[in-house]
Structure 1
């Protein structure tokens, strides 16, 4: 699902988390906020429905990264988005594929934002990330300390945004609104 206004300065490519899809209400909410700020957005499925039923595939970060890079190249091959700056928005497991994709396309990805993204799943790539990166975590997320420890390996411009009272999924409307505003900025 690509929506890119002709005058959009960039496109945000969404990498969905495990067991999620382009229909994710949370990512669609964030995508709408980003669109209202004048950016294009692309929501797509990293896995087929059949693959998504296989738990191992959901955590196959190299596979997810390959697909994210391929769809980014597809964006650049399209006439209407050929010259667009590209940023990644990764949620949950795909936060790791967004970081790894940014290292594979070094200098081509303009920003990486993650919502509850599992940064530690991209540990070997973290020192090589050059794109400015922002992670939004809920303070009640049990893996928050692991995330923060892994993020310390980043040498790029990095911001950690902690949403007070939130868990991993940012279930309250105000929590998700905060994450969407941070991502759009």
Structure 2
């Protein structure tokens, strides 16, 4: 079942799709950066398996937290565990997870955790940081963030991938890594994008 939703965040209506399988085990809130959308083929592919305002991290984190609250109270998924997936917006997902303690797991793909400011040390949800192997500056930023994260974490490098992780086979690697992580944290593949 797919339910269109509009989330009101500070007076702005944010459109999304709540995809609910027959027996949901959890909720996944998928945050994507500028240059992509919920209709993006890459985001749709990952969201399908998981079933920024550029660098405006506080604003995007506010929106993610609002989505967590509103979707978490939606009648068809109320009470299920919640995970966050930050696509190019790992900082917003990390910032939201630091503020919203109900989040059980976070995946940051190609994110800039340095933009999460002090929030990284407040994240309690287990977090992998997925980065393209050829994205050297962001890989180093993620390594530094991993050292500051208190939550269980690890760096996952997608070999041969550039910043957008759009090389053949790279998206499948990201999807597998994210799905495995959420499964280990007992957060299923229900997603709002």
User: For the superposition of Structure 1 and Structure 2, which TM-score range results when normalised by the shorter chain?
Assistant: 0.7 to 0.9
| CA deviations over 1:54-107 (Å, ceiling 9, x no partner) | xxx422111111111111111122100111111000011x2111001111111x
Q: How much does 1:173 deviate?
A: 3.0
CA distance in 2, matches of 1:138, 1:58: 19
Query: How many residues matched?
Result: 163
89, 94, 100: which one pairs with 2:95?
A: 100
CA distance in 2, matches of 1:18, 1:152: 27
CA distance in 2, matches of 1:2, 1:153: 33
Structure 2 residue 108 is the aligned partner of structure 1 residue 114: yes
CA distance in 1, matches of 2:76, 2:62: 23
Hey, what does 2:55 align to over in structure 1?
A: 59
Hey, what does 1:39 align to over in structure 2?
A: none
14, 20, 24: which one pairs with 2:40?
A: 24
**Structure number having the greater strand percentage:** 2
The 5 A counterparts of 1:3-152 are: 3-35=19-51, 57-92=53-88, 94-106=89-101, 108-143=102-137, 144-152=139-147
CA distance in 2, matches of 1:176, 1:6: 26
| CA deviations over 1:139-178 (Å, ceiling 9, x no partner) | 1003211221122110110011001111111112311100
Q: How much does 1:6 deviate?
A: 4.1
**Structure number having the greater helix percentage:** 1
Q: How much does 1:18 deviate?
A: 2.2
Q: List alignment gaps of at least 5 residues for structure 2.
A: 1-16, 181-193
Q: Comparing 140-149 with 127-136, which one deviates more in the overlay?
A: 140-149
Q: Contact conserved, 2:73 with 2:79, CA < 8 A, in 1?
A: no
Q: List alignment gaps of at least 5 residues for structure 1.
A: 36-46, 48-56
| CA deviations over 1:21-46 (Å, ceiling 9, x no partner) | 111211111111123xxxxxxxxxxx
The TM-score normalised by the length of structure 1 is 0.84
Q: How much does 1:126 deviate?
A: 0.8
Higher relative contact order (CA 8 A, sep 6+): 2
